[in-house]
Amino acid sequence: MASCEKKIGEPADSPGTIDFFSIPLIAVNFAVRKRLALFLNPKSMVAANWPELAEEMGFDYLEIKNYERFDNPTGKLLEDWQVKEGSSVGRLLELLQKIERDDILEDLTPLIEEDCKRYLNKPLQVPSVDSSEPKTPASIGITTGDDPTGIAPELFDAFICYCQADIEFVHEMIKQLEQSDYKLKLCVFDRDVLPGSCVWTISSELIEKRCKRMVAIISDDYLVSDDCDFQTKFALSLSPGARDKRLIPVKYKPIKRKFPSILRHITICDYTNPSTKTWFWKRLAKALSQP
């Protein structure tokens, strides 16, 4: 536990440490979440489990009782909490410490640290003598339209979250929204992002700092994509109070899989509806054009 307490308590600018509180919970991967569930799902009379963690996260009695119907209540709890304001990797570690689950912290902190390092796309290092300015994705240049000096990063009206199987619809979107009177600027990863960088790190930079909106192209392939899942949850985690305005789901073909619960509260643009298809592009363009 000593190492975990040190990392949580240290200032964010301490050399060689990670500021866990600045990292969203989406950085914690499936394997770590599964192991956390192995600790917290079983009922125990001698240790706090997921209901105590849920209470510390701010969920009320009825919400906590509702989680009992899930096979993996811990997993569902983390999924719902990560889009709430104030959630972070650091806050999760802090709450585990608060409910006195030192055994979990001892076991999982090194794995969580590795996840955070991958999320940040940088190694955890001891201080070194280096007079150069630290480089960020913005200063290095991450898109084909970036200024090489980093002074004027390329900005977009919307980040397009999609799977390769849906690329034809992405091309149609480019034609209708960019190569038309709307003249919107879309961020299409395969077209606009320079190769060679961590996909999750670059996606986070673009969604948070370069794009006013994110359009999620919903399909069966999207629903099983780790990259799309990451991008969607990251966009939702940025500004919980304004997430309805920031994220726009688009359905362009019938879906067999269950629609994601985290998007059910957001109005969808449905290209499959014949009665609304005639004004689909105009409606979407107006939503993306808003300040």
Res 291 pLDDT > 60:
yes
3-class secondary structure, 214 = strand
How many percent of the chain have pLDDT more than 70? 84
Domain extent listing, the chain: 2-120, 140-289
At 218, list the tokens: 């919903």
Q: What is the pLDDT of residues 228-259, one digit of tens each?
A: 988 998 888 875 544 445 899 999 999 998 88
The answer to whether domain 2-120 and domain 140-289 are alike in fold is no
33, 100 contact by CB (below 8 A): no
Residue that the structure tokens 């909106």 belong to: 213
9 versus 42: the higher-pLDDT residue is 42
- Please classify residue 101 by burial: count the beta carbons closer than 10 Å to its beta carbon, then call 0-12 exposed, 13-18 middle and 19+ buried: buried
- Please classify residue 24 by burial: count the beta carbons closer than 10 Å to its beta carbon, then call 0-12 exposed, 13-18 middle and 19+ buried: buried
- CA–CA distance, 273 with 252 (Å, rounded to integer): 9
pLDDT at residue 105 in the model? 94
- Backbone torsion region of residue 100, taken as left when φ is above 0, otherwise alpha when ψ lies between -120 and 50, otherwise beta: left
Give the pLDDT mean for 159-174.
96
- Return the bridge partners of 156, or none: 211
Specify the CATH class of 140-289 in words.
Answer: alpha beta
Res 216 pLDDT > 50:
yes
pLDDT at residue 122 in the model? 47
141, 31 contact by CB (below 8 A): no
Mean pLDDT of the chain: 83
**DSSP state letters, 222-242:** GGG-HHHHHHHHHHHHH-GGG
Res 9 pLDDT > 50:
no
Res 184 pLDDT > 90:
yes
Residue 52 CA neighbour count, 13 Å, CB half: 18
Question: Quick one: DSSP state of residue 193?
Answer: B
Res 125 pLDDT > 50:
no
**DSSP state letters, 100-159:** T-HHHHHHHHHHHHHHHHHHHTS---------SPPP-HHHH--BTTS-TTSSS---EEEE
Give the pLDDT mean for 146-153.
72
Closest CA to 78 of 100, 62, 99, 56: 56
Whats the size of the chain, residue-wise?
A: 291
Residue that the structure tokens 């997993």 belong to: 75
pLDDT at residue 129 in the model? 40
Query: Picking from 121-125, 158-162, 175-179, 237-241, which range would have the lowest pLDDT averaged per residue?
Result: 121-125
pLDDT at residue 237 in the model? 80
Q: What is the pLDDT of residues 72-115, one digit of tens each?
A: 899 889 988 988 888 999 999 999 999 999 999 999 999 999 88
Residue type present at position 105: L
Percent of residues in the chain assigned helix, strand, coil, to nearest 5: 50, 10, 40
Give the pLDDT mean for 137-156.
74
H or E segment to which residue 248 belongs: strand 247-251
pLDDT at residue 150 in the model? 61
In this structure, the strands spanning 156-161 and 269-270 are: unpaired
The arrangement of secondary structure in 2-120, i.e. its CATH architecture, is Orthogonal Bundle (1.10)
- CA–CA distance, 133 with 142 (Å, rounded to integer): 18
Give the pLDDT mean for 27-50.
86
